[in-house]
Structure 1
Amino acid sequence: MRKSFYGIALAGLLSGNIAADTFEQALQQVKEQDLREHVKTLASDKFEGRQPTTIGEAYTLEYFTRQFDKLGYTPGVDGSYLQPVELVKIEADPDMTLDIAGDKFEYKVGMVAGTSRESELVELKDSELVFVGYGVNAPEYDWNDYEGLDVKGKTVVILVNDPGFENPDSGKFQGKTMTYYGRWTYKYEEASRQGAAGALIVHETAPASYGWSVVANSWSGPQYGLVTADGNQSRVKVEGWLSVEAAQQVFAKAGLDYAEEKRNAQQGPYSKAMGSKASVTVKSTLNKSTSYNFLATLPGSKRPDEHIIYTAHWDHLGKDPAKEGDNIYNGAHDNATGSAALISIAKAFASLEQRPERSVSFLLVTAEEQGLLGSKYYAEHPVYPLAKTVANLNIDAMNIMGPTKDVEVVGMGKSELEKYLKKAAQRTDRVLVQESRPAAGIYYRSDHFSLAKKGVPALYAKGGPTPLNEEIADYRKKMSVIQTGCYHQVCDQYRESWNFEGMVEDAQMYFEIGFDIASGDDWPQWSETSEFQRP
């Protein structure tokens, strides 16, 4: 167990005028016993893996309601805790073939294709192919692959990641650290803004940070989206992927060398008409349903219109009736731990004798596993104005590997929120370190990103990679054997053997960050190098 620093010079460290012993008393309301009970309940078989729109969702929302009612929180949505989120499930018929210049590519073998449009039938017919390099339009980096192009009705072929990844010493973008321009989501969005009919991303394992099997398995089958007024007709008709082997074949058929064209695209904004045409028909089945975000608020004592919002996703993958034996994806680590942390942090705030000056809200969102849809919906339909949202603090898959000497910052250097994180981490004598795989773009893959895109400074951090001592190091080795391979699998279950000390420290750290911001009048800003800024 780590030596506690909570009693050292608290009065000098705290912002606002709340008594130090009151803060420490509140801090200690984040308890291992509570965290264990919340995780154990939310990850139990009764909750059936917490898939949106199932009985598991109903049990989950009922549990949150009991907890926040007991703590005296105010429902955030017109007298209710629940914000409806309309979802559409689109499942493409796998019986499709992509034809490019007479060469045919089979579904999940050399290509994957689908649509975000709420349409049972979309097709490309003899759509001209245009290679657009990385498909980036980034004025702050003086980079626009679409400059001077008219791609309306055409299909763009795009490299994965951004220009800095494979040329880190060039000074382009942020080197090996992925920016949002490297994410596949951005590439489809930009192609849509440019008026393209189709968009095909070339998959390569290193710059994507995952293998082709992830593309074939994750982008096939049911895909979820938000119901929109225009039925997503503003999106490109067809969104797809090409394996690198398929791409090499396509380029060669067009008389181009893929490797050479890729090198050209790394040097500066680049595009080239390929002289080939693509055709594919995508037939889909559609189903609409309603899920819910959960929002609870502790009103501020002086400036209740200003909010600090904590986020965590409550959903997981549900159950698979076709699977023999254990078929429930309990999602204990991902993300019953984060949901449990928000309840415990909420308890700490509720215990304060004097409320912070600003309001503190807890947003537990749906459909993160389907593409950050719950947080995206909130960002597009905020209950509290985003201009009055001071900061977002996000928690996803907490530390179950024991206490650490460091805190891993996902997206390190993006905002001034890190000064609050640094102060809170120092309370347990920890230092801040960069995430272990910045090239993977993890910052763009959790719910804080939805608010960041709208300009709200957002922080995502977790216990770091360095164990506190040899005893914890030994525990980590043993637990890693058990946990490895359990991400999005039925073995992601609650275990009594989990060490919750690091989780408690991280949850207390998050409480302190929110407390300090809510008790002061500072408005943290994005850093100048961040791709996000307040409007």
Structure 2
Amino acid sequence: MLTRNYLTLSWLALAGLASPAVSYAQKATVDSKVAQAMQSADSSQIKADITYLADDKLKGRLPGTEGFKIAADYVIEQMKKYGVQPAGENGSWTQQVRLRKAFIKNAQVSLTLKGNSSANEQLASGRDAVIYPDPVTPHESVSGDIVFAGFGITNPEQHYDDYSGIDVKGKMVMVFRGAPQSFPSSEVSHFMDMVTIQKTAAAHGAVGVILGTPDSLGRLANTSRGIYSVLDDKGSVVVSRSYYSNQIKALAVLSYSYTQRLLQASGKSSREILAALKSGHTQSADLRAELHATYESSYQDVDGFNIVGKIPGSDPKLKQEYVVHSAHLDHLGISVPVQGDSIYNGAHDNASGVASMLQIAHIYANLKVKPKRSILLVAVTGEELGDLGSGYFAAHPTVPVKNMVADVNTDMPTIIAPLLSVTALGAEHSSLAKVVDEAASYLDLSVEPDPEPKENRFVRSDQYSFVKQGIPALHIKYGSKTPDGKNNLNEKVAVWRAKYYHKPQDDINGIFDFRAGAKYAQLNFLIGYLVANDPQRPEWNKGDIFATKE
């Protein structure tokens, strides 16, 4: 359990007797029984859960492996202990997720530059260009004129359109990944997403997308280990980070040198073009070139699964609606050794997030009267492969998709120091922002803007899967406040990240503050509880970019 001192301080905060929070948001009104149940958040159990899930015997919890299954069995047993009910397929605890790993074979890419000589040049696969495999079509061939379309963005809300004044029907579009500096950080993340880029290109009639490399330090993507997607029982792609539809017959990445050569037709360098794009000035142009691509794809299918549990609501009508708490259970398995260790245990990423979600179940187990809406606890697979398990669940949930009102996601809360402030990624797009402010203020936490907008964290975890289905979602991360008043926690996290993130060193022997983990679980619980008890569903802000289903 939490130490006596921490319990005393935490109880004062929950009872509204602690010193005012830095945030000036109105504090949530919480029943004394709810406040008391929140005290059951157990830092020692969080440590125990992380210790088990990050043990070497689980071998990094790679989807489809025995280690992942051992982790899943543990999570299910913990849920049972807390009185959670199974809510998977056919009354089970699980939802099957068919993962497809696609590999590229025999890729041939050439360019025809329409100058005086109209020379055709064969590009070296992996050096000059990379083609992504197609998860459903084993043999593909496409040709098309190349048109530069800036960042590949059409965004009426920001009065910005890279496709204005150009015709890309039946053509290949070359784009840079990015967005104008005036865009909010979460919108930048959204428009940098490769599926969003392809979707926009397809909407304008393009048949292929080329990701140009604008910087000489840029590296081509490595697809040699395979690219994952999720298929349904009919063999159609449900979710992928690299595939949109059969209309886009080639997704390619072009080297810096060839990107520069193509841009010569516009009379500008990539540096000049990128600077103009960042300032909000479109730079679209016909590049007077044609790309030809022929390639084959091969496949390996993996049987993965999500875990789905339910805490039934108390209202006869509203209990048919759901607030989702999600956390990914998978990690990277066994990979390249670092300092003699090749097991990527994923203690912070994301055993800590799963442990936090289990503590939410623990709090509910100590709350006799449940909220009006039901609660779903979803431990998803394949986040490290591209938000695949959450993408499948959000699109094909085990409950009616229209009945999911919000997702509160937990991914690597980075509990390495006292939790004094937080960032709510994605909350600013909906009424969830007000809920976060009220819950955080109740726990004497201030709420800050994203301290690392360039990390594109909004689209890099499972909350984004729900957003793409039109469901308001958020992801709580640490803020910058520190006990010494220097408020530079992001600097400490940067040092931690360099040593531990996505490395075998991320095990139980790393840096942890388990009390912060308990407070993090309390916050996520309270956010979900307030939403579940509110007669009104969360709503997107009027005119918000995510207000319509993707």
Q: TM-score range with shorter-chain normalisation? A: 0.7 to 0.9
Q: Distance in 1 between matches of 2:494 and 2:290?
A: 49
Aligned equivalent of 1:457:
472
Q: Distance in 2 between matches of 1:472 and 1:439?
A: 20
Q: Distance in 1 between matches of 2:467 and 2:490?
A: 36
1:7 Cα deviation from its structure 2 partner: 4.7
Does residue 88 (structure 1) correspond to residue 131 (structure 2)? The answer is no
Q: Which amino acid aligns with 2:44?
A: Q
Does residue 186 (structure 1) correspond to residue 196 (structure 2)? The answer is yes
After the TM superposition, which of the residue ranges 39-48 and 100-109 deviates more from structure 2? Answer: 100-109
How much is the aligned-residue C-alpha RMSD, in angstroms? 3.1
Q: Distance in 2 between matches of 1:482 and 1:158?
A: 34
Structure 1 counterpart of 2:131, from 95, 113, 125? 113
**Native 8 Å contact 2:166 2:285 kept in 1:** no
**Native 8 Å contact 1:433 1:464 kept in 2:** yes
1:69 Cα deviation from its structure 2 partner: 1.5
Q: What per-residue deviation string (whole Å, max 9, x for no partner) do you get for residues 131-156 of structure 1?
A: 12221222333444335655344211
1:62 Cα deviation from its structure 2 partner: 0.9
Q: Which amino acid aligns with 2:498?
A: T
1:246 Cα deviation from its structure 2 partner: 2.9
Does residue 320 (structure 1) correspond to residue 339 (structure 2)? The answer is no
1:299 Cα deviation from its structure 2 partner: 0.5
Structure 1 unaligned residues grouped into runs of 5+: none
Structure 1 counterpart of 2:413, from 398, 415, 419? 398
**Native 8 Å contact 2:109 2:291 kept in 1:** no
**Native 8 Å contact 2:133 2:227 kept in 1:** no
**Native 8 Å contact 1:296 1:361 kept in 2:** yes
**Native 8 Å contact 2:13 2:444 kept in 1:** no
* TM-score, normalization by structure 2: 0.85
Aligned equivalent of 1:227:
231
Q: Distance in 2 between matches of 1:103 and 1:86?
A: 39
After the TM superposition, which of the residue ranges 518-527 and 148-157 deviates more from structure 2? Answer: 148-157
**Native 8 Å contact 2:416 2:511 kept in 1:** no
Q: Pick closer, same or farther for the CA change 1:289–1:465 going to 2, 3 Å.
A: same
After the TM superposition, which of the residue ranges 465-474 and 224-233 deviates more from structure 2? Answer: 465-474
SS of alignment partner, residue 369 of structure 1: coil
Q: Distance in 2 between matches of 1:8 and 1:522?
A: 26
Q: Pick closer, same or farther for the CA change 1:111–1:492 going to 2, 3 Å.
A: farther
User: 5 Å matches for 1:1-20?
Assistant: 3-4=9-10, 5-9=12-16, 19-20=31-32
Structure 1 counterpart of 2:254, from 239, 242, 254? 242
Q: Distance in 1 between matches of 2:313 and 2:274?
A: 53
Structure 2 counterpart of 1:54, from 65, 69, 76? 65
Q: Pick closer, same or farther for the CA change 1:474–1:32 going to 2, 3 Å.
A: same
Q: Distance in 1 between matches of 2:348 and 2:126?
A: 30
1:467 Cα deviation from its structure 2 partner: 1.5
**Native 8 Å contact 1:394 1:448 kept in 2:** yes
1:468 Cα deviation from its structure 2 partner: 2.1
Q: Distance in 1 between matches of 2:497 and 2:140?
A: 42
**Native 8 Å contact 2:146 2:288 kept in 1:** yes
Q: What per-residue deviation string (whole Å, max 9, x for no partner) do you get for residues 155-182 of structure 1?
A: 11012112x22xx4xxxx4389625223
Aligned residues: 516
SS of alignment partner, residue 484 of structure 1: helix
* TM-score, normalization by structure 1: 0.87
Q: Distance in 2 between matches of 1:307 and 1:366?
A: 20
Does residue 359 (structure 1) correspond to residue 340 (structure 2)? The answer is no
Structure 1 counterpart of 2:184, from 174, 184, 201? 174
Q: Pick closer, same or farther for the CA change 1:120–1:475 going to 2, 3 Å.
A: closer
1:428 Cα deviation from its structure 2 partner: 3.4
SS of alignment partner, residue 337 of structure 1: helix
After the TM superposition, which of the residue ranges 505-514 and 269-278 deviates more from structure 2? Answer: 269-278
Structure 2 unaligned residues grouped into runs of 5+: 18-25, 114-119, 238-244
1:385 Cα deviation from its structure 2 partner: 2.4
After the TM superposition, which of the residue ranges 258-267 and 77-86 deviates more from structure 2? Answer: 258-267
Aligned equivalent of 2:263:
251
After the TM superposition, which of the residue ranges 313-322 and 298-307 deviates more from structure 2? Answer: 313-322
SS of alignment partner, residue 413 of structure 1: helix
**Native 8 Å contact 1:401 1:475 kept in 2:** no
After the TM superposition, which of the residue ranges 275-284 and 138-147 deviates more from structure 2? Answer: 138-147
Does residue 124 (structure 1) correspond to residue 142 (structure 2)? The answer is yes
Aligned equivalent of 1:519:
533
Q: Distance in 2 between matches of 1:257 and 1:282?
A: 30
SS of alignment partner, residue 296 of structure 1: strand
1:295 Cα deviation from its structure 2 partner: 0.7
Structure 1 counterpart of 2:509, from 487, 491, 495? 495
Does residue 68 (structure 1) correspond to residue 79 (structure 2)? The answer is yes
Aligned equivalent of 1:383:
398
Does residue 283 (structure 1) correspond to residue 296 (structure 2)? The answer is yes
Does residue 414 (structure 1) correspond to residue 429 (structure 2)? The answer is yes
SS of alignment partner, residue 398 of structure 2: coil
Structure 2 counterpart of 1:350, from 362, 365, 370? 365
SS of alignment partner, residue 368 of structure 1: coil
**Native 8 Å contact 2:98 2:301 kept in 1:** yes
Paired-residue identity, %: 28
**Native 8 Å contact 1:252 1:258 kept in 2:** no
Aligned equivalent of 2:53:
42
**Native 8 Å contact 2:427 2:474 kept in 1:** no
Structure 1 counterpart of 2:36, from 25, 31, 39? 25
